[in-house]
């Protein structure tokens, strides 16, 4: 029996979109290569918990190989896609073999942070998209208290005990909301020279309300919960300057040495190599079936896709990537058997953001919730979608422990993260 | 009421010795500063599990601040001790305030790896003492399979699937023994082009038997268990060369790209600044009460101390550091209240090493165990000594999961660990 040459599907990215595409092609007569520059699939909605030392990286990430181990038509390649040649139908990789040819491509490479023309802010205000980002945020968060404990200068100490979060979307709100819970409880008994409960948390949003994409009633509820936790809100004013020791918002200079960026997304740079129309955020503008105009074999899904349905953009959230990836996989399967493609239909599952230890806001269909009941909905949905039994049990255990004891166990700094002393700002308040 | 100036005790190192010293001074009228260059106390006996992706760093490490949070006479300083001036009684730190004066010093800075004059081997054959070391070993271990999966060259593939462990003390035996369990089970279904069960594991020991410090009967049992797992033993021959693509043992060249070093210890470099007699391994030769000759206020404990009792050296194991640290703390308390010091008495608790998933060898007093029952003893003792309730439950859960499913969940590589391609060896076997 001779072997039949089956179409080669290349998927770039092992996040929600890429994995959903691979799974949708489980029974299709194709050979799939999934390329990712890390070896793991990451549950990004809980990344803020790793950044604040509540969860271990292993709790919210699983090896992509493990996830797809039973799907025999998939191989996984640890590599970075540097460029795509849509005419030759090939992907340029950073490892041997450097060229990967495809018959169908699913581009699900996601987004990075956008600094709106101020890329010089990136090292001062890191964002949160990967495990490496989370490790960086955790390091800065923990080191700020270590330095505050050492300094004798009250002005420097105040700046070291001020954390500014830029951007009040779900990530910014969740980061800002969890910090007071930690500084008021877990850390408080451990220092001798500072009171960690005096840590200032400032949440900055250029728009007029927190959670701008949510229903205004939920924005109001979230703002109330944040204020009750002691988070200072700065709404309706953009950040105009960031230095190693301050953030300027509107006309106000806030002395602060720790700044987290949650304000904007930019499509992965690999999209630029396609020579197809991108939107202002660097996302690929796709056809109704998620393919690229003129390239019916090339699909873009997830945060890298600009998908307009009925005049509205599909939001860059996990369900959007899941549904888009699955659709692209189904379209490829249809094309392989000679059937036409159909337009993508997006089902909005709702909006969810947690605030601190036991509050949240949620819009699930027509139902709007806030407070403790929304937090339980948030917990239930996140555990439901978290991949892998081990992770679910471990996350529940860690949360149960953290909830009952106010402790956050994963507060580890390795020596190679030091010496950081060249990064210690000298604060000289004007 | 005026404040009384209390003696200042500085402890360098937050491992078993340093923490035990701090705890022994709990009720003493002293002010303690514990200095460590990381922020965590590490349970080193389980570090090989982190290196092989069985446990998360957070499972075997806790913040030193948390550990000592209730002991109000201790403050913790995240800093590296660069040098000690025993005449001026001060420690030079890498952060402000750069000088820390003391009345009593406990030096518990531990050991690093010794390459016996071949420091050029360090980058080729990393050792295992810190969480950062474990991350490095895990990265090399996992990347070797990713590269083997990619290569089309069978000779290169064989070298990428060969792991050499140098040194057959407990760490070397535990590392070598766990690898076949992983390659035969957890990884096997996930690759498409290689059979991970064909991974060669070679354990090299210059001495004539594995576990040279253990009873010969246990060495024999361990060797049998290792051979049953498929580990190749090379005994009685030293390593004479290491390159990026091979290890030479005696006259034999073993093509191998992954080499782990577990062969020797060298005292932490800070000891050299003391200008007191060191042994060949760089350890401080101490008096019977663990103080340094001529400096009754300066104690050295743990892996950095050369302690001879009745002609025998106290071994560099966790119970030795624990007991030594506690003794030093008690001696300082006695001196503060004007009492003389007494000699250190070491109680040898026994020898323990695990081999693979469910075998171990143990000498507990007169009782010698091997096989499954020794493994249960090993598990019980390690959980008993592991600090923190959260860690114990989490470790048991992870082990239960790994044991039942053969999975190892914590196999994560972040993108910043890549590109590693410049480190990929070109293997051209002669």
Query: pLDDT tens digits for B344-371?
Result: 999 988 888 999 888 899 898 888 988 8
Residue of A nearest to B415 (CA): A38
CB A137 within 8 Å of CB A164: no
CB contact (8 A) between residue B414 and residue A132: yes
CB burial of residue A8 (10 Å; 0-12, 13-18, 19+): middle
Residue B302 CA to residue B321 CA, distance in Å, equals: 4
Dist CA B43 CA A82 (whole Å):
41
- Tell me what pLDDT residue B211 has: 95
**Using a CB-CB distance cutoff of 8 angstroms, which residues of chain A are in contact with residue B66?**
190, 407, 411
Which of B42, B59, B65 best tests the A interface by mutation, with the highest count of A CBs <10 A? B65
Q: How far is B233 from chain A (nearest CA, A)?
A: 31
Which residue in chain A is spatially nearest to B71 when comparing CA positions?
A190
CA–CA gap between residue B415 and residue A303 (Å, rounded): 19
Helices (H), A15-62: 16-24, 47-51, 57-60
Distance of alpha carbon A68 from alpha carbon A87, whole angstroms: 29
CB contacts of B131 in chain A (<8 Å) are 412, 414
Kindly provide the ipTM of the predicted complex, given to two decimals.
Answer: 0.84
Which of A22, A41, A63 would best serve as a mutation to test chain B binding (most B beta carbons within 10 A)? A63
Which residues from B are below 8 Å from A97, CB to CB? 150
Are the C-beta atoms of B284 and B274 separated by less than 8 Å? Answer: yes
Contact B415 A130 (CB under 8 A): yes
Q: Do A78 and B146 touch (CB under 8 A)?
A: yes
Contact A57 B410 (CB under 8 A): yes
Please pick, among B80, B146, B156, B174, the residue that the annotation labels catalytic. Answer: B174
Task: Tell me which chain B residue has its CA closest to the CA of residue A394.
Answer: B394
A190 to B63: CB separation less than 8 angstroms, yes or no? yes
pLDDT of residue B426: 26
Question: Who among A94, A131, A410 is closest to B414 (CB)?
Answer: A131
CA B256 to chain centroid, in Å, comes to 24
End-to-end CA distance of chain B: 82
Residues of B in contact with A59 (CB under 8 A): 56
Spot the catalytic one: A156, A174, A181, A205.
A174
Tell me whether residues B409 and A397 touch, CB distance under 8 A.
Answer: no
Residue B395 has pLDDT above 80, yes or no: no
Predicted pLDDT at A383: 79
User: Looking at beta carbons, which residues of chain A come within 8 Å of B388?
Assistant: 409
Contact A409 B391 (CB under 8 A): yes
Q: Provide block-wise average pLDDT over 10 residues at a time, chain A (430 residues).
A: 80 96 97 96 90 85 90 96 97 92 98 92 95 92 93 95 97 94 86 94 97 93 96 96 96 96 93 94 96 97 95 91 97 97 93 87 88 84 72 70 62 49 27
Three-state secondary structure call for residue B341: coil
pLDDT at A371: 86
User: Catalytic: B174?
Assistant: yes
Locate the domains of chain A by residue range: 8-37+79-113+265-336, 119-263+350-409
Nearest C-alpha neighbor of A26 from the set A76, A77, A75, A74? A74
Of A56, A96, A394, Cβ closest to residue B397: A394
Q: What is the dihedral of CA A341, A28, A3, B198, to 10 degrees?
A: 140
Residues of B in contact with A151 (CB under 8 A): 96
Confidence at residue A385, expressed as pLDDT on a 0 to 100 scale: 77
CATH for A119-263+350-409, options being 3.40.50.261, 3.50.50.100, 3.40.605.10, 3.40.190.100: 3.50.50.100
Closest residue in B to A67 (Cα) is B190
Q: Find the closest chain B residue to A66 by CA distance.
A: B190
pLDDT at B419 over 60: no
CATH tag, B8-37+79-113+265-336: 3.50.50.60
Do residues B35 and B268 touch, judged by C-beta distance below 8 A? no
Instruction: Decide if A355 contacts A344 (C-beta within 8 A).
Output: no
Residue of B62, B130, B149 lying closest to A414 (CB–CB): B130
Q: Which residues in chain B are contacts of A56 at CB distance < 8 A?
A: 56-59, 410
Partner-chain contact A419 B69, CB within 8 Å: no
The answer to whether A18 and A34 are in contact (CB under 8 A) is yes
What integer is the mean pLDDT of B269-275?
A: 95
Q: How far is CA A30 from CA A27, A85, A350, A427, B305, in A?
A: 8, 21, 34, 60, 63
pLDDT for B190-231, tens place per residue? 999 999 999 999 999 999 999 999 999 999 999 999 999 999
Collapsed DSSP state (helix, strand, coil) of residue A126: coil
**Does A411 contact B78 at a Cβ distance shorter than 8 Å?**
no
- Chain A residues whose CB is inside 8 A of the B418 CB are 37-38, 78, 80, 94
Residue pLDDT, tens place only, B236-259: 999 999 999 999 998 999 999 999
Residue B390 has pLDDT above 90, yes or no: no
The pLDDT, as a whole number, for residue B356 is 85
Which residue does chain B place closest to A68, by CA atoms?
A: B190
A96:B398 CB<8 A: no
| pLDDT for residue A377 | 84
Contact between A390 and B53 under an 8 Å Cβ cutoff? The reply is no
**Which residue of A lies nearest to B396 if distances are taken between CA atoms?**
A394
User: Between A192, A401, A418, which is nearest B75 by CB?
Assistant: A192
pTM flag (> 0.95): no
Cα–Cα nearest to A245, from A354, A337, A162, A345: A162
| The two domains A8-37+79-113+265-336 and A119-263+350-409 share their CATH topology (first three levels equal) | yes
Residue B422 reports pLDDT greater than 50: no
| Strand-pair partners of B252 | B249
Q: Look at A173-187, B154-168, B299-313, B400-414 and tell me which has the smallest mean pLDDT.
A: B400-414
pLDDT score at A60: 87
């Amino acid at each position: 029996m001779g072997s039949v040459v089956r179409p080669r599907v290349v998927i770039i990215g092992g996040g929600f979109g890429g994995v959903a595409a691979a799974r949708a092609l489980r029974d299709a007569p194709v050979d799939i290569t999934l390329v990712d520059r890390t070896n793991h699939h990451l549950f990004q909605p809980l990344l803020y918990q790793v950044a604040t030392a509540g969860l271990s990286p292993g709790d919210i990430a699983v090896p992509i190989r493990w996830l797809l181990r039973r799907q025999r038509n998939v191989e996984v390649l640890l590599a970075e896609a540097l460029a795509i040649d849509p005419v030759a139908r090939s992907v340029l990789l950073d490892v041997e073999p450097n060229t990967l040819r495809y018959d169908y491509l699913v581009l699900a490479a996601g987004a990075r942070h956008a600094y709106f023309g101020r890329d010089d802010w990136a090292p001062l205000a890191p964002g949160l998209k990967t495990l490496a980002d989370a490790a960086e945020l955790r390091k800065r968060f923990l080191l700020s208290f270590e330095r505050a404990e050492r300094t004798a200068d009250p002005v420097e100490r105040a700046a070291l005990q001020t954390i500014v979060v830029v951007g009040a979307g779900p990530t910014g709100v969740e980061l800002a909301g969890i910090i007071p819970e930690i500084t008021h409880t877990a850390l408080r008994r451990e220092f001798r020279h500072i009171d960690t409960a005096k840590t200032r948390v400032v949440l900055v949003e250029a728009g007029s309300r927190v959670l701008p994409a949510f229903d205004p009633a939920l924005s109001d509820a979230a703002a109330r919960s944040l204020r009750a936790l002691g988070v200072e809100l700065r709404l309706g004013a953009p950040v105009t300057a960031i230095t190693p020791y301050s953030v300027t918002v509107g006309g106000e200079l806030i002395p602060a040495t720790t700044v987290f960026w949650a304000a904007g997304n930019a499509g992965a740079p690999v999209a630029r190599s396609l020579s197809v129309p991108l939107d202002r955020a660097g996302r690929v503008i796709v056809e109704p079936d998620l393919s690229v105009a003129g390239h019916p074999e090339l699909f873009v899904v997830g945060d890298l896709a600009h998908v307009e349905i009925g005049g509205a953009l599909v939001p860059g959230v996990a369900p959007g990537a899941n549904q888009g990836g699955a659709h692209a996989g189904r379209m490829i399967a249809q094309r392989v058997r000679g059937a036409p493609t159909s337009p993508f239909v997006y089902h909005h599952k709702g909006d969810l953001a947690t605030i601190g230890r036991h509050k949240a806001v949620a819009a699930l269909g027509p139902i709007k919730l806030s407070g403790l009941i929304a937090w339980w909905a948030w917990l239930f949905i996140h555990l439901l979608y978290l991949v892998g039994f081990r992770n679910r049990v471990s996350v529940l255990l860690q949360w149960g422990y953290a909830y009952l004891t106010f402790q956050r166990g994963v507060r580890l700094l390795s020596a190679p993260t030091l010496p950081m002393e060249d990064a210690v700002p000298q604060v000289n308040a004007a």
